[in-house]
């Protein structure tokens, strides 16, 4: 959510940002916010004036009674009561106007970073850099489910009966590999100075509204019927929510955290749940990175976060590339975003395995995450998040890039201690 002062002082900047994100349908919101905000401030000014009048008149009542001027005192009391009613009406009007302002502000997109490429959708994202040499082996790479089934590692048919499409049973060495990757990613991030956290897997609605846009919420979140609780779509939701309504001391920053969680997603409006596959699913697990920092440090942390993911994948012999998300592909709260994509030898192309985002002060403004500076003044923190690894999607890249000609799967050295010393599975 933007600072209201920006709309008051530079509405053209907000309009231009909306155009850059190809959301022209939201342009009228700017004028609506300005009009409602002006009416709100007028009502506020009238209310302040009435409060001053009431205070002055209230002081007069005691003096009039002391002088025996009861009729005059009663007349003043009547005026005070009249003012009280006017104030009640004005305060109700203030509340209604403020709600109208907030409703519109919640859907006006955040100001994107000047470095973000302008484009309508993900087809116009820009490749930045490649890490590792993408290899196409001289033998056929089967579909990832076929690899898993040959290793007795997955049961989609049973999951479809118990839960429907978008769910899975992982078995044996594939299940162990899944857990090993998460354990390795946990230790990888701890070694990089991040504090390990296991957060709540359900959050209240006010936290959901604080960490994401309404459109994202509708398309992603599962709500617990009859309760103010939602299943998290990623641990970022509860991790950022941890700081709701807090004032952090400046010398406590940055907060660098790495969190494990299961993730639950409707995937409404996505490319569709696969009947056979684990690329787009309703339930998965993830190791995430979260940073809460001073505003001037967020660009530096943005670069550190995505580099962590690149380094992690390279230790597992998986070639990756980074892709700068264009303006039209950015979620409304994001200032800047970069995807990490892994090489698929079977498809001979890259596919997304992680996303790094700088949200500026958008989440902090919604959740009131403030920092107390050394001078005693308070300001809004910046928040960032990034995927370290999200199996089982990551398993697709792992299996394809480490498959041997005889159908076995090589275990890179970094992962062997988590696999009981195994060098191959199969």
Judgement on whether residues 141 and 229 belong to the same structural domain of the protein: yes
Among residues 277, 7, 272, 238, the alpha carbon closest in space to that of 145 is found at: 277
Reported as a single tens digit per residue, the pLDDT across 112-159 is 999 999 999 999 999 999 999 999 999 999 999 999 999 999 999 999
d(CA 219, CA 111): 23
Q: How many residues does the structure list for the chain?
A: 426
- Which sign does the torsion angle of CA 258, 264, 268, 274 carry? positive
Judgement on whether residues 163 and 64 belong to the same structural domain of the protein: no
Reported as a single tens digit per residue, the pLDDT across 393-407 is 899 999 999 999 999
Q: What is the total count of domains within the chain?
A: 2
Tokens at 38, concatenated:
């002006």
Asked whether residue 189 is assigned to any structural domain, the reply reads yes
CATH number of domain containing 324: 3.30.930.10
Please, which pLDDT band fits residue 375 given cuts at 50, 70 and 90? Answer: very high
Q: Which domain holds residue 250?
A: 122-425
d(CA 409, CA 422): 10
Judgement on whether residues 153 and 68 belong to the same structural domain of the protein: no
* Peptide bond connecting 392 to the previous residue in cis, omega within 30 degrees of 0: yes
* The Cα angle at residue 293 between residues 229 and 128, in degrees rounded to 5: 95
Asked whether residue 110 is assigned to any structural domain, the reply reads no
Judgement on whether residues 209 and 318 belong to the same structural domain of the protein: yes
d(CA 302, CA 334): 12
Q: What are phi and psi of 323, to 5 degrees?
A: -130, 120
Judgement on whether residues 173 and 284 belong to the same structural domain of the protein: yes
Residue 142 CB coordination number (10 Å)? 16
**SS3 at position 278:** coil
Residue ending a domain, among 77, 105, 133, is 105
Q: Could you tell me which residues are beta bridge partners of residue 336? A: 358
Judgement on whether residues 100 and 216 belong to the same structural domain of the protein: no
Reported as a single tens digit per residue, the pLDDT across 289-312 is 999 999 999 999 999 999 999 999
The predicted model gives 30-50 an average pLDDT of: 91
Judgement on whether residues 75 and 169 belong to the same structural domain of the protein: no
Asked whether residue 230 is assigned to any structural domain, the reply reads yes
Please, which pLDDT band fits residue 269 given cuts at 50, 70 and 90? Answer: low
Judgement on whether residues 167 and 74 belong to the same structural domain of the protein: no
Reported as a single tens digit per residue, the pLDDT across 225-258 is 999 999 999 999 999 999 999 999 999 999 999 9
Judgement on whether residues 70 and 150 belong to the same structural domain of the protein: no
Asked whether residue 165 is assigned to any structural domain, the reply reads yes
Please, which pLDDT band fits residue 80 given cuts at 50, 70 and 90? Answer: confident
CATH number of domain containing 12: 1.10.287.40
Judgement on whether residues 328 and 376 belong to the same structural domain of the protein: yes
Q: What is the SS3 assignment for 82-110?
A: HHHHHHHHHHHHHHHHHHHHHHHHCCCCC
Among residues 84, 75, 88, the alpha carbon closest in space to that of 53 is found at: 84
d(CA 104, CA 94): 16
Q: What are phi and psi of 182, to 5 degrees?
A: -65, -40
Residue ending a domain, among 105, 139, 157, is 105
Tokens at 253, concatenated:
């920053």
Asked whether residue 57 is assigned to any structural domain, the reply reads yes
d(CA 367, CA 78): 43
Asked whether residue 112 is assigned to any structural domain, the reply reads no
Whole-prediction pTM: 0.89
Residue 269, phi-psi category: left (phi > 0), alpha (psi -120 to 50), beta (remainder): left
Q: Which residues touch 365 (CB under 8 Å, ≥6 apart)?
A: 1, 2, 3, 380
Judgement on whether residues 140 and 72 belong to the same structural domain of the protein: no
Residue 270 has pLDDT above 60, yes or no: no
Residue 51 has pLDDT above 90, yes or no: no
pLDDT at res. 73: 72
Residue ending a domain, among 105, 137, 161, is 105
């Amino acid at each position: 959510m933007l600072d209201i002062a920006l709309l008051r002082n530079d509405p053209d900047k907000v309009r231009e940002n909306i155009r850059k994100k190809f959301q022209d349908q939201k342009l009228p919101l700017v004028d609506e916010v300005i009009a409602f905000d002006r009416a709100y401030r007028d009502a506020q000014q009238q209310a302040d004036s009435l409060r001053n009048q009431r205070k002055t008149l209230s002081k007069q009542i005691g003096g009039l009674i002391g002088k025996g001027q009861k009729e005059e005192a009663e007349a003043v009391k009547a005026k005070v009561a009249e003012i009280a009613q006017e104030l009640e009406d004005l305060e109700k009007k203030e509340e209604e106007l403020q709600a109208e302002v907030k409703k519109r502000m919640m859907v006006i997109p955040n100001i994107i970073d000047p470095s973000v490429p302008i484009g309508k959708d993900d087809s116009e994202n820009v490749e930045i850099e490649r890490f590792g040499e993408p290899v196409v082996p001289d033998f056929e790479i089967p579909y990832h489910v076929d690899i898993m089934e040959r290793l007795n590692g997955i049961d989609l048919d049973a999951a479809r009966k118990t839960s429907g499409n978008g769910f899975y049973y992982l078995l044996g060495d594939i299940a162990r590999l899944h857990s090993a990757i998460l354990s390795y990613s946990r230790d990888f991030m701890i070694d990089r100075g991040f504090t390990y956290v296991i957060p709540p897997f359900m959050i209240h609605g006010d936290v959901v509204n604080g960490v994401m846009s309404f459109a994202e919420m509708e398309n992603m979140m599962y709500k617990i019927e009859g309760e103010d609780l939602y299943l998290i779509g990623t641990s970022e939701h509860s991790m950022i929510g941890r700081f709701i309504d807090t004032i952090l001391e400046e010398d406590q920053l940055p907060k660098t955290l790495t969190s494990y969680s299961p993730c639950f997603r409707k995937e409404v409006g996505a490319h569709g749940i696969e009947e056979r596959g684990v690329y787009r699913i309703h339930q998965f697990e993830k190791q995430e990175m979260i940073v809460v920092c001073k505003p001037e440090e967020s660009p530096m942390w943005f670069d550190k976060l995505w580099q962590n993911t690149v380094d992690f994948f390279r230790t597992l012999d998986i070639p990756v590339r980074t892709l700068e998300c264009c303006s039209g592909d950015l979620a409304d709260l994001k200032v800047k975003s970069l995807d990490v994509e892994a090489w698929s030898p079977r498809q001979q192309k890259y596919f997304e395995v992680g996303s790094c985002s700088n949200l500026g002060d958008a989440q902090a403004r919604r959740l009131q995450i403030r920092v107390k500076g050394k001078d005693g003044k308070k300001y809004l923190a910046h928040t960032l998040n990034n995927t370290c690894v999200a199996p089982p999607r990551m398993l697709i890249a792992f299996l394809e890039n480490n498959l041997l000609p005889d159908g076995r799967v090589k275990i890179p050295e970094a992962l062997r201690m988590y696999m009981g010393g195994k060098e191959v599975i199969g």
